[in-house]
Amino acid sequence: MAENKPITKNIDWIVVLIYIACLGIGWVNIYAAVYNPEVQTSMFDSSNNAGKQLMWIGTAAILIVCILVIDYKFYETFSFIIYAVVILLLIMVLFAGSNINGSRSWIKIGAFSLQPAEFSKLAVSLAISKYLSDPAISLTRKLKDYYPIMGIIALPAFLILLSNETGSMLVFASFAIVLYREGMPGFIPAIGMVMAALLIITLLFVKWYIAAAIIVIAGLVIWLMPVMTRRRGGLWATIIVAFVMIGIVFGVDFFMNNVLQKHQRGRIMVLLDPDSDPRGIGWNVIQSKIAIGSGGFTGKGFLQGTQTKFDFVPEQSTDFIFCTVGEEHGFAGTAVVVILFISLISRLVILAERQRSRFARVYGYCVAGIIFFHFMINIGMTIGLMPVIGIPLPFFSYGGSSLWSFSILLFVFLKIDAQRPFTLSRG
């Protein structure tokens, strides 16, 4: 049934162009981040991160060609096998991994290191898509259909946690977006957000005040409630919800002090008040905000950044690459990046929605969700809206594993999307 039209005709060029733009801007900014006015090296010199990134970009291009050449059915057919391979790699890395920055999550191949955790996103996306492609599965009605999904996510999450890569593990939260789209009741993400809000409020205010405020609000809700709703159990429901919320408030306190590790607690506290530990955990946030804030509207100019240049901002070419954009290109530059990401993600949602197969749609949402989650956490942390969680900014941050994994993730979807006219609808 497949008419072999050249892939260049059907591929979604909007996404490809945004992808290329992101890589280009990212590469230029990596060069700016590692630029040393005293020892100037070229952008193409593989001794610096920019030169290396160029190599990664080149190899990513080769990968992309491979992806586009391979038959689109391969990904659906082999999704569980890919999942299994990645799980094996994750187990392997626990025993044979090299220790970089305190986490045993790297496999060394010659001079280069690969991080299997990065590829777990692809594997889990494919596995979930494959699982949900069964039309009999319904997330709206049957609770037991959730169990395999939880299993698919929990297994790599657990392995990643063992290798001390909390940041990568948190990315799995992005699958909530897919599940929501596929029928998960809306109250589940709503509860998640209320929990997060309560967590922050608990850290900011005195517990008893919050409890009192919840009781007052509950009272108001009951009072304003139509009489019929109240009689039909609305009264008790509200009271129970209020008590659960108060329980959470006190639970959070316990959770913060007894469950979270000290550095994790610190990261959350710093989000609320970076000045609480200006030299320690707060340092990253303060320096990154200064770097971005000092950019002004138009920025200091290419290679003119000073905060990022003189080592004030840590991890400048990787997790904090956005600071370089902010400092050297100002609000104009950061706005372009934010708009590029929102455009890319929105475009992916639109593409996902036009898929005929459920597998393709779910996978598309997985890609959009993962990229969005990285975008939200990474940029959010550089501007002090999110806790410091070390995950890269897709296509921008320096690093082969992340560039490869995001490229594969994206282009597998583009390949599937390009074959859309020839796919039969199954869901």
Partner 1 sequence: MLENRRFVIIIFFALVGLIYLLRLFYLQVLDESYSIESSSNSIKRVIEIPFRGQIYDRTGKLIVYNTPVYDLLVTPYKARVDDTLRFCQVLGIERRDFDSLMAAASAYSRMKPSLFLRQLSKEDFASIQDIMVDYSGFEFAKSSLRTYTAPTLANTLGYVSEITRSQLEKQEEPYYRQSDYIGQSGIEKIYENELRGKRGTKFVMQNVNGVYKGPWKSGELDTMAVAGENLYTGIDLEVQQYADSLMVNKVGSVVAIEPKTGRIISIVSAPTYDPNILASRYFSKNFAALVRNPYKPLFNRPVMASYRPGSTFKLIQALIGLQEGVITPGSGFTHANCPMNCHNHPATGSVALGVMHSCNPYFYNVFRRLIYKNNIQNTFKASAVGLDNWHDRISKFGIGQRLGIDLPSEYKGNLPNKKYYDRFYGEYRWKFSNIYSLSIGEGELLITPLKMANVAAIIANRGYFYTPHVIHGIGDKKTVNPDFLVRHETGVDAHNFEPVIEGMIGAVEGGTARRSKVEGITIAGKTGTSQNKKGDDSSIFIAFAPVDDPKIAIAVFVEYAGAGGSAAAPIANLVIEKYLTRKITNKALEERMLKADFMSKVILPGQKKPVPVDTTKKKPVPVKTNILNKPVAVNP
* Residue of 148, 234, 251, 380 that binds partner 1 (CB under 8 A): 380
E strand or H helix at 116:
helix 116-132
Min dist CB 391 to partner 1, Å, is: 16
Q: How far is CA 279 from the centre of its chain?
A: 27
Told to check if 341 binds partner 1 by CB under 8 A, we report yes
- Interface map 160-179 toward partner 1 (x if CB under 8 A): -----------------x--
Told to check if 392 binds partner 1 by CB under 8 A, we report no
Token readout for 286 is 């303060």
Q: Which of residues 105-164 bind partner 1 (CB under 8 A)?
A: 140
Rounded Cα–Cα distance for residues 359 and 366 (Å): 11
- Interface map 286-315 toward partner 1 (x if CB under 8 A): -x-xx-xxxxxx--------xx-xxxx---
Phi–psi pair at 385, nearest 5 degrees: -100, -10
* Residue of 12, 118, 182, 417 that binds partner 1 (CB under 8 A): 182
Rounded Cα–Cα distance for residues 278 and 264 (Å): 16
The amino acid at residue 183 is G
Strands 103-109 and 98-100, how do they pair?
antiparallel
Token readout for 422 is 């020839």
Token readout for 212 is 């009192």
Told to check if 180 binds partner 1 by CB under 8 A, we report yes
Rounded Cα–Cα distance for residues 26 and 396 (Å): 4
Token readout for 219 is 């009272």
- Interface map 21-50 toward partner 1 (x if CB under 8 A): ----------------xx------------
Told to check if 196 binds partner 1 by CB under 8 A, we report no
Rounded Cα–Cα distance for residues 382 and 147 (Å): 36
Token readout for 299 is 């920025």
* Residue of 195, 197, 200, 385 that binds partner 1 (CB under 8 A): 385
* Residue of 24, 58, 183, 421 that binds partner 1 (CB under 8 A): 183
* Residue of 51, 282, 326, 387 that binds partner 1 (CB under 8 A): 326
Q: Are 221 and 238 in contact (CB under 8 A)?
A: yes
Interface residues with partner 1 (CB under 8 A)? 37-38, 140, 177, 180-183, 186, 278-279, 287, 289-290, 292-297, 306-307, 309-312, 326, 330-331, 334-335, 338-339, 341-342, 345-346, 349, 353, 365, 368, 372, 376, 379-380, 383, 385
